[in-house]
A and B are shown apart, each in its own frame.
Chain A
Amino acid sequence: MNPTQFKVNRVETELGPLALVTIDNGEDYTRPNVFGRDALGSLLDALDQLENGDWVAMVLTGKPYVFAAGADLTEFPRISTREEAVAGSRTGQELFGRIRALPYPTVAAINGACIGGGLEIALHCDARTISTAVRHLGQSEVFLGIIPGWGGTQLAPRLIPLADAVKLVVTNPLKQNRLLDGGKAFELGLADRLLEPVEFVDDSIAFALELVDAPLERSAPDHGDVERVLRGAEAQVDDAVHGAAPAPYCALELLELATHEELQDGLRAEAEAFGELVFTRQAQASLYAFDVIERRAKKGVGVPDATPRKIEKVGVVGAGLMASQLATLFLRRLEVPVVLRDLTQEKVDEGVEAVRASLPDNLAEEKRRFLGSLVSGSTGWAVFDGCDLVLEAVF
């Protein structure tokens, strides 16, 4: 896969030149941008341009449909010592920190998937726009048994209230890695503007130019009763992991630290904690499992190359519970005629009705009517004539 690059382009505006930076690995949206060694090298080059120019503002955005999906997990097995892990965290923090230090307004224009390190680089910018088309935004590290190591634990509570930062960094990842859509991220205060996708980059440029004359006035978030928030969070973490995984507890400590420590101290603590966690059994197992599920399973290991036969009619032998559930599944997935066969007409009618009744309520009325019309049954065998697939489900 091509390394992800930071591509800097110059946009002439009435206020002066704006740097339009694209995160792009040159692949389509099925292969998201990720930050590996080469990507960070490319960012280093981009920073040289960004620090030496007459820029009035910067907009950082992704290739179509993807902002950035975070660190390149395939490089994690290369980390062999704790020191290396800490250094990897520090390097990212420092590089991203140079974006934060740029002397002009910087805007992350979150146009698509924005996860882990992708969200962290966005948090290092002065402000963020987000598209209503974004469906996957999250600080997912805790899901993998690690913590955000490029500033996420320290920057999130500097932007949003602690309780929300806990949700983002700790409790959402523990709920099978729950992600946010653009609207939710905006409501949470992670973005300053929620924009339509159609002219998203243009509108983000316009927003960045607004900041040139009128920088955002951002007041510190109100964390409320920090102790209470943390106690509540700890209880939730206990319920989820029962003390068996260190990462969520560690993340909570770092978030709490962010509410009172200097940023540089917090970042150092974050890097140290990251170095500790990477080599825990829990993290190693999670990273392994993630690789299996996300990469190998999605590739469909063992699936033959032949194109599947087209299924245009399905038969189910039986009209009981299992038969009607199978029939419902075929109806929903394939939207083709499904026939049930059982011994008595009464049993058949019950099965057909059960299928119609189990169509979800949120379907449009027309759709329910259509799908309902596709299911039928009989006591004879002739109904299976023309079926491309017949399943036995007598129970």
Chain B
Amino acid sequence: MERDVVFVDGVRTAFGRAGEKGIFWRTRADDMAVKAVRELLRRSPALPPERIGDVILAATAQVGDQGLTLGRDVALLAGIPQSVPGFAVDRMCAGALTAVTAAAGEISWGAADVVVAGGVEHMGRHPMGADVDFNPRFVAERLVDTSAVTMGATAENLHDRFPHLDKSSADRFGVRSQQRAAAAWQNGVMRETVVPMSVFTDDGWKRADRDEFLRPDPTMDALATLRTPFRIGGRVTAGNSAGLTDGATACILAARETAQELGLQAKLRLVSYAFAGVEPELMGLGPIPATKRALELAGLTLDEIDLFELNEPFAIQVLTWCDGLGVSPDDERLNPYGGAIACGHPLAATGVRLISQLAYGLRERRARYGLTALCIGMGMGAAAVWENLQ
């Protein structure tokens, strides 16, 4: 049995700054995921909740309010019938994309007709690597370079490997991301994909309705003065990388035939996907082989892709992808609504943000194919090719 898998709709919460000053500091991660899931289902009234075959949610830190096999936990909290199962996945930054591909597998096989997939990361409550116990063999046997566990250090490593991609080119990309994101908040893409959420804070209830990493009018001069926290004299700064973020995403995937049966408007068809491994200390390179493999599986060339939604944990990571695939960082097809540098990157949640924005962008451009890709800690990359059905 092999069935077409379609993307019906995707939403996210606004993305907040992790930590005490962030708007989600006192909000639970599972409650954020519940908000995204409920909004998602509200927008698709044609979908009877009992027809959902599985709820797959990703989180990198699967403890505390992100523990308890999150997909099941959130399904119950969101009011989805008890008969609908759920589970949690982890592939760090590609968590949500992995939830999507796992859903695609279930749908393709016929194990489920409709799946809710997404992710959540409350990096304020769960700082990256906080509860991780690294195996000493990694260092003793030099299995990976010690810099591989600090994502910012891997980004510095990319600058070392590709000296022509310098700090000013990274800063320039950071400015571009902020400018495009600012414009995107003016047009409809954020209105269509971001659901405002009332959250309790020390200052009372507030509405989380805007990403907290947006910087109006960033200038190259201002970015040049920022600290380089990962290395003295380094190149990676808060201006050319994504901050630590709290956020949640969710989407509906369905068998094409089920979407038709229920009258759900499918936005995209999943054409192909691929994951790939690279040197852990150069984890930002991961999307290059993943993209190549996904294109090969799709039988498409890069020229046939009309839109790229790439995660931007670090500007240098996107620049190396551009370099490796021969795409200009100024290409209009690349991250037209800005990226994680401007909106934030709640690790396991980001994948669905990319897909939701890709669906919007392909519809606006009346274009056919799009690509979503992310790099993944410990040296991996993920890519998925989508076809516009709108």
Contacts and interface: CB of A to CB of B under 8 A. Distances in A.
A202 interface: yes
A202 B197 contact: yes
15 contacts: A7-B203, A7-B204, A9-B204, A9-B205, A12-B207, A20-B198, A22-B200, A22-B205, A198-B34, A198-B38, A198-B77, A198-B78, A198-B79, A202-B196, A202-B197
Contacts of A12: 207, 209
Contacts of A11: 206-207, 209
Nearest to B79: A198
B195 to A, nearest CB: 9
Interface string A1-41: 00000011101100000001110101000000000000000
Contacts of B205: 9, 20, 22, 61, 201
A12 B209 CA distance: 9
B202 A20 contact: no
B214 to A, nearest CB: 14
List 6 A-B pairs, minimum CB-CB distance, nearest first. Answer: A22-B204, A7-B204, A201-B198, A11-B207, A22-B205, A9-B206
Contacts of A201: 198, 205
Contacts of A61: 205
Interface of A: 7-9, 11-12, 20-22, 24, 26, 61, 63-64, 196, 198-199, 201-202, 205
Contacts of B125: none
Contact of A20 (B35, B38, B77, B204): B204
Given A9-B203, A9-B207, A198-B34, 15 more contacts: A7-B203, A9-B205, A9-B206, A11-B206, A12-B207, A12-B209, A20-B198, A24-B204, A63-B204, A198-B38, A198-B77, A198-B79, A202-B196, A202-B197, A202-B198
A1 B21 CA distance: 24
Nearest to A109: B205
Contacts, number: 45
A46 to B, nearest CB: 10
Contact of A64 (B77, B200, B207, B209): B200
Nearest to B202: A26
B188 to A, nearest CB: 13
A190 B204 CA distance: 25
Interface of B: 34-35, 38, 77-79, 196-198, 200, 202-207, 209
A378 to B, nearest CB: 43
B78 to A, nearest CB: 8
Nearest to A14: B191
Given A7-B203, A7-B204, A12-B209, A205 B198 contact: yes
A8 B204 CA distance: 8
Nearest to B209: A12
Nearest to B210: A12
Contacts of A63: 200, 204
Contacts of B197: 202
Contacts of B204: 7-9, 20-22, 24, 63
Contacts of A8: 204
- By secondary structure, the B interface counts as mixed
A24 B204 CA distance: 7
Contacts of A26: 202
B85 to A, nearest CB: 20
A22 B78 CA distance: 25
B16 to A, nearest CB: 15
Given A20-B198, A205-B198, A199 B38 contact: yes
Nearest to B207: A11
B297 to A, nearest CB: 40
A236 B141 CA distance: 85
B328 to A, nearest CB: 36
A216 to B, nearest CB: 22
A11 B78 CA distance: 24
B254 to A, nearest CB: 24
A166 to B, nearest CB: 34
Contacts of A202: 35, 196-198
Contacts of B209: 11-12
A65 to B, nearest CB: 10
Contacts of B77: 198
Nearest to A24: B204
Q: Which of B38, B196, B203, B207 has the most CB of A within 10 A?
A: B207
Nearest to B206: A9
Contacts of B196: 202
A20 B34 CA distance: 22
B38 to A, nearest CB: 6
A371 B389 CA distance: 59
A61 B200 CA distance: 11
Contacts of A9: 203-207
B118 to A, nearest CB: 17
A201 to B, nearest CB: 4
Contact of B35 (A7, A22, A199): A199
Nearest to B31: A198
Contacts of A199: 35, 38, 198
Contacts of A7: 203-204
Contacts of A198: 34, 38, 77-79
A205 to B, nearest CB: 7
A7 B203 CA distance: 6
Contacts of B207: 9, 11-12, 20, 205
Contacts of B203: 7, 9
Contacts of B34: 198
Nearest to A202: B198
B61 to A, nearest CB: 24
B194 to A, nearest CB: 13
Which of A9, A21, A196, A205 has the most chain B CB atoms closer than 10 A to its own CB?
A9
Nearest to B191: A14
Contacts of B202: 26
B49 to A, nearest CB: 14
Nearest to A111: B205
A202 B202 CA distance: 18
B100 to A, nearest CB: 25
A202 B13 CA distance: 13
B30 to A, nearest CB: 12
A341 to B, nearest CB: 44
A222 B378 CA distance: 71
A99 to B, nearest CB: 16
A205 B199 CA distance: 12
